[in-house]
């Protein structure tokens, strides 16, 4: 499975989707602008876990994200309408099944406009559905198909129909999307975006402090190698503290 995924990703540059690629800015997201954390990929052609370095493969966030969990948190900032995120999703979910003990994956939706705010709320609501994983995958497909649609009401109507198929009535969909809980989750996501200085998706942050530079790797699978390297770095720091 991993071999086939890697083959699919060979042409996937991981430049990602930027805030200029949202529904309200462009007709589609097939030509994503390069995020501001661009680094010449030739710098990492011979990279190994021992050569991942700050400023080349990752940066330190000026305003770290603090989590209450004792686990090492890996955050993926994503958007359902980002073609790069959709292609990256199987890889990060596969990694999630084999990640080290004491490590948790958190997916956090990117929000640059009103329609993306709706998509983010849909993600939060999907967490309460019985078949969360299936709905999560379907939301990628549905929202990708809506990439040329700039009307908020059209997005809302389609999503309400999707959730209805998963047992959430249209009335409940409306209620939950506008609930205090969902608004609080959205507020937190916006805060974390700001702390991460998010300019494009997908973006990975390890333990709220290390932001991985997508353009420093030659293939998507290596992003997870950098993640594992930084996890080991954090684990070593804890060990040294004792």
User: Structural domains in the chain?
Assistant: 83-94+104-199 (3.40.30.10), 204-242 (no CATH)
Read off the pLDDT of each residue in 104-121 and give the average, rounded to a whole number: 98
pLDDT digit string (tens) for 154-168? 999 999 999 999 999
* pLDDT surpassing 60 at residue 49: no
Q: How many CA atoms lie within 13 A of 204 on its CB side?
A: 33
- The answer to whether 208 and 75 have CB atoms below 8 angstroms apart is yes
Q: Is the model's pLDDT at 40 over the cut of 50? A: no
CA distance 108 to 224: 17
């Amino acid at each position: 499975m991993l071999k086939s995924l890697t083959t699919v990703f060979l042409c996937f540059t991981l430049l990602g989707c930027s805030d200029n690629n949202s529904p309200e800015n462009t007709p589609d997201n097939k030509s994503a602008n390069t995020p501001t954390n661009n680094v010449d990929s030739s710098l990492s052609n011979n990279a190994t876990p021992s050569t991942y370095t700050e400023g080349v493969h990752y940066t330190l966030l000026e305003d770290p994200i603090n989590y209450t969990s004792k686990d090492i948190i890996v955050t993926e900032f994503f958007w359902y309408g980002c073609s790069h995120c959709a292609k990256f999703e199987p890889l990060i979910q596969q990694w999630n099944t084999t990640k080290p003990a004491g490590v948790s994956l958190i997916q956090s939706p990117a929000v640059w406009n009103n329609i993306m705010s709706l998509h983010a709320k849909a993600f939060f609501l999907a967490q309460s559905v019985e078949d969360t994983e299936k709905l999560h995958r379907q939301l990628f497909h549905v929202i990708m198909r809506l990439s040329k649609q700039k009307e908020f009401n059209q997005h809302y109507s389609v999503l309400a129909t999707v959730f209805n198929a998963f047992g959430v009535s249209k009335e409940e969909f409306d209620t939950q999307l506008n609930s205090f809980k969902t608004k609080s989750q959205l507020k937190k996501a916006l805060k974390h975006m700001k702390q991460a200085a998010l300019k494009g998706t997908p973006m990975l942050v390890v333990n709220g402090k290390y932001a991985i530079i997508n353009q420093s790797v030659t293939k998507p699978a290596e992003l997870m190698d950098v993640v594992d390297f930084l996890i080991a770095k954090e684990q070593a720091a804890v060990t040294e503290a004792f």
